[in-house]
Amino acid sequence: MGTRRTTLPGVGTQYDVTTRAGRHLSVVVHQDGRRFLGFYGAEDPDSCQVSIPLEGDEAAVLARLLDPTPLEAVHTEGIGLVTEQIPVNSRSPYAGRLLGDTRARTRTGASIVAVMRRTSAHPSPGPDFRLAIGDTLVVVGTREGVDALAAIVAGE
């Protein structure tokens, strides 16, 4: 498998991946944070067949799905707890609001143990921590509690 990083002046950075099977895909990360996933034909590796724009939270979910290590490390079999990362997207009723407004622990029994932000991590955030679009909540609880918290954050 081959990878290549190319700086695109005035645009951002392009990351190209060629699989062992010879398939070519790229991720373009724009300076403003937009991301595009591009797929190329085997017969013409320079011709992009499909380009899919991804919002920040969508890119984060895709990255977690592609990396099996966090998924394997997340489940704590035998003790009844799971750890998951829950994105705060633009449709969340809690984007821009205080963490305490979620009443997460009271409503679900699950705990938000950290908030990952684009440029930093915030371990053990207090109720006065203000959530932002693109944040990722690191949550620990029972399967039911974590699922309930994910639904609350998603506004379901």
pLDDT at residue 71 greater than cutoff 70: no
CATH number of 66-154: 3.30.70.1450
Mean pLDDT of the chain: 82
pLDDT tens figures, 25-37: 888 888 777 888 8
In this structure, what token pair is assigned to residue 78? Answer: 């035998």
pLDDT at residue 76 greater than cutoff 70: no
The DSSP string of the chain is -EEEEEEETTTEEEEEEE-TTS-EEEEEEETTS-EEEEEE-SS-TTSEEEEEEE-HHHHHHHHHHH-HHHHHHHEETTTTEEEEEEE--TT-TTTTSBGGGG-HHHHHS-EEEEEEETTEEEES--TTPBP-TT-EEEEEE-HHHHHHHHHHHHT-
Nearest CA to 145 out of 63, 80, 49 is that of 80
Domain boundaries, the chain: 2-54, 66-154
As a whole number of angstroms, the distance between CA 50 and CA 36 comes to: 10
pLDDT tens figures, 50-68: 888 887 777 777 776 676 5
